[in-house]
Structure 1
């Protein structure tokens, strides 16, 4: 009983001296507050290494989704030929977010809803995997330098740096 009273006295002293916040255990931080609404959708097509076509789970077409934070090599747009590693990046996106699969689209409140081509700008998660992060980690895409202040910026930058250091994917091929 004396030990319990002693602990209570210490807790009161800590609460008085350092404020309530300092005495309470830290709560898990959870997702970044700038990550917004998450919506489940179905992948209907993979356009290239950073763009999907999706529909809602009721089958209504939602259009194209550009994965936030990454830039894939361009597929052929005649008369321009495809860029080096475009096919591999597209194939990897097919592997990570297969046509017919259900993925989660997550908004970033610090980013626009759509780009200049009217594509939705979203993080894409499939089966617990951040698809853009995995594309970066495997060296299939580059960081989209114009996209700063992303909720997932730190993770994306680290994945891109690791891929570059390892000379993996397009960095070792192109």
Structure 2
């Protein structure tokens, strides 16, 4: 009887696991993404439309932080000119996370701690607002397709789709012939 019960439990677990794996996106192989640790820091500089510099509240430099889940147009890197809407994206980030303000950095359990440029990769919240979501809503950035799903995936996708559908920001501005296309960085 115990052997039969053990077999039934094993079959149920296998079928449950198969059902869970079938329901996950192809790129989702680990646990469900979730928000993790939150740290309060001070913004010391806005680098471009998706990167800030921060320090601890005690003044220790933490370096650059890449906003998780978005990609903003690149600022000028001579001899390359700025991409279309780069200045507007940077300006909006400066409004949303002003230099000197305290922001919350939030980890995502399914995402790496740092990117290939050694920047911290975090959600950034300021005064109750998700800064990346606001950049998406304003059309100042597009979704960055990560290898793993994001904890804020649903919100970011819907917001980006809305901005693109209504041609806000870069979606309505960067369509002229000769505009330099922009890619993920």
Q: Shared fold by TM > 0.5?
A: yes
Deviations 1:2-36 (A, max 9, x none): xxxxxxxxxxxxxxxxxxxxxxxxxxxxxx97100
Change (3 A) 1:163 1:147: farther
State whether residues 33 and 150 of structure 2, in contact with CA within 8 Å, keep that contact through their aligned partners in structure 1: no
Aligned-pair CA distance for 1:146: 3.2
Match of 1:140 in 2: 140
| Corresponding position of 1:162 | 162
1:154, distance to aligned residue in structure 2 (A): 0.3
Match in the other structure for 2:124: 124
Structure 1 residue 80: deviation in Å? 0.8
Give the length in aligned residue pairs: 143
Q: Which runs of 4+ in 1 moved over 4 A?
A: none
* Long gaps (5+) in structure 1: 1-31
TM-score (norm 1): 0.80
Residue 36 of structure 2 corresponds to residue 63 of structure 1:
no
SS at match of 1:115: coil
Specify the SS of the correspondent of 1:158: helix
Instruction: Kindly provide the CA deviation profile for residues 17-71 of structure 1, in whole angstroms up to 9, marking residues without a partner as x.
Output: xxxxxxxxxxxxxxx9710000000000000000000000000000000000000
The CA distance in 2 between the partners of 1:149 and 1:43, in whole Å, is 27
- List gaps (5 residues or longer) in structure 2: 1-31, 175-185
Contact 2:38-2:106 at 8 Å conserved across structures = yes
Q: How many Å separate the matches in 2 of 1:40 and 1:70?
A: 21
**Do the aligned partners of residues 129 and 142 (structure 1) sit closer, same or farther apart at CA in structure 2, a change above 3 Å counting?**
same
Tell me the residue number matched to 1:42. 42
